[in-house]
Amino acid sequence: MQAFKAFRVHTIDGKAVCKFETLTLDDIDPGPVLIRTAYSAITYKDAMAARGVGRNVRTERPCVTGVDLSGEVVSSADERFKPGDKVAVTNYKLGTEHDGAYAEYARVPADWIVPLPDGLSLFEAMGLGTSGLTAALAIDRLEKAGLAPGDGPVAVSGASGGVGSLAVDMLAGKGYEVVAISGKPEQTDFLQSIGAARVMHRDTLYGNTSSMVSGPPFAAALDNVGGRMLDRLLAHTMPHGKVAIAGMVEVDLQSTVLPFVLRSVDVLGINVSRQLKMPERQRLWQRMATDLKPSHLDAIARPIAFEELDSRMDAFFNVSTVGRVVVQVGAGQPAR
Ligand SMILES: NC(=O)c1ccc[n+]([C@@H]2O[C@H](COP(=O)([O-])OP(=O)(O)OC[C@H]3O[C@@H](n4cnc5c(N)ncnc54)[C@H](OP(=O)(O)O)[C@@H]3O)[C@@H](O)[C@H]2O)c1
């Protein structure tokens, strides 16, 4: 039986220990669709799983982690897929309760799989992945709530991160005036190069306890942070503005009801976990391949070799990661 490389987390005496191993198909969770993984990515959730932070890996068995994958179908017992189909899987139980993306092969339920739309390569699919889906869902919901280009500035917090940088690019591509809020002044040029009209240091927002900071209030915001950031964004959103909440870097929220009862601000919750239904997921992937396709994906999606995976996890805890880290899992895949 063919052997392949995988990155697995073992829970030993309550601690996470991760390592590269050689496995065969018999070692990974069963599923009707066998996929040869081309690319994956690293998200905060993957870093937590690798380092045993929180309870992301919900199995005591060794688990191949990696919550995002793109690849080609090798075989399928489900008639919706055939060998050679290009596909993507994000979230569900992948990489947490079911062996995931950090292996050259994965076997998954057909219900988790999105056929890759025309216009996206396997590399681009992972340049987007969970982060792209989050940004796309937020923009889609903001638009459905009535947001249109020309309404005023749209703030994106955590702007240098995966969701943030993709959202900056997507919104700018749709003609919005994007204010990128970041704690990394050294990324100002990068954020402007992907479409930010203005870059604001997050301390400018935190330090200002009046309702206004310099510049006009925001017509809308996509918050990738939570906590204090969300409170400040709500305070700085114009009447009838909209705030999409995706981030949970800070979970506790202390705010007032004033943005809602005095300025009619709408709050939109964003969740791309398994709760996001497949037809909606496919529609958003279609948008990511067309009108929401980032123009600067080459700059945002930064490829690394599979072997570098372990050494790149800790950057997610010291907040030094910029954009999306795309992992070249499949042997023979081009770097992009
Ligand atoms: N709702 C959903 O379905 C969903 C899906 C995916 C991700 N998420 C969440 O969305 C958030 C962003 O995800 P991501 O993949 O973009 O993560 P990421 O790449 O790690 O980016 C997070 C960004 O947040 C900012 N940040 C980090 N620590 C901070 C702190 N202590 N205070 C203020 N800002 C801080 C940083 O940006 P700057 O340095 O530029 O400020 C960082 O780059 C995470 O909380 C993640 O868990 C939610």
**Would the CB of 44 count as within 6 Å of ligand 1?**
yes
CATH code at position 212: 3.40.50.720
Residues 175 and 260 in one domain: yes
Which pLDDT value is given to residue 181?
A: 97
pLDDT one-digit tens code per residue, 5-53: 999 999 888 788 899 999 999 999 999 999 999 999 999 889 998 988 8
**Structural domain includes residue 50:** yes
Q: Are 205 and 223 in contact (CB under 8 A)?
A: no
Cα 79 to middle of ligand 1, angstroms: 38
- Give burial (CB, 10 Å; 0-12/13-18/19+) of 261: exposed
Q: Are 38 and 101 in contact (CB under 8 A)?
A: no
CA 221/CA 244 separation, integer angstroms: 6
**Structural domain includes residue 276:** no
pLDDT one-digit tens code per residue, 48-77: 989 888 777 766 789 999 999 999 999 999
Helix (H, G, I), strand (E, B) or coil at 302: strand
Q: Are 34 and 69 in contact (CB under 8 A)?
A: no
**Would the CB of 131 count as within 6 Å of ligand 1?**
yes
Cα 188 to middle of ligand 1, angstroms: 17
**Would the CB of 134 count as within 6 Å of ligand 1?**
yes
Residues 106 and 138 in one domain: no
CA 52/CA 68 separation, integer angstroms: 18
Which pLDDT value is given to residue 331?
A: 78
Cα 225 to middle of ligand 1, angstroms: 5
Q: Which of 252, 269, 286 is the last residue of a domain?
A: 269
Q: Are 36 and 107 in contact (CB under 8 A)?
A: no
**Structural domain includes residue 213:** yes
Q: Are 110 and 78 in contact (CB under 8 A)?
A: yes
Residue with tokens 């940004």: 135
Residues 108 and 20 in one domain: yes
**Structural domain includes residue 288:** no
Domain with 172, as residue range(s), is: 131-269
139 φ, ψ (degrees, to nearest 5): -65, -40
Which pLDDT value is given to residue 208?
A: 60
Q: Are 23 and 3 in contact (CB under 8 A)?
A: yes
Number of H helices and E strands in the chain, helices first, is: 10, 16
Residues 180 and 227 in one domain: yes
Give pLDDT < 50 ranges for the chain.
211-212
Residues 95 and 144 in one domain: no
Residues 59 and 170 in one domain: no
Helix %, strand %, coil % of the chain (to 5): 30, 30, 40
The total number of structural domains that make up the chain: 2
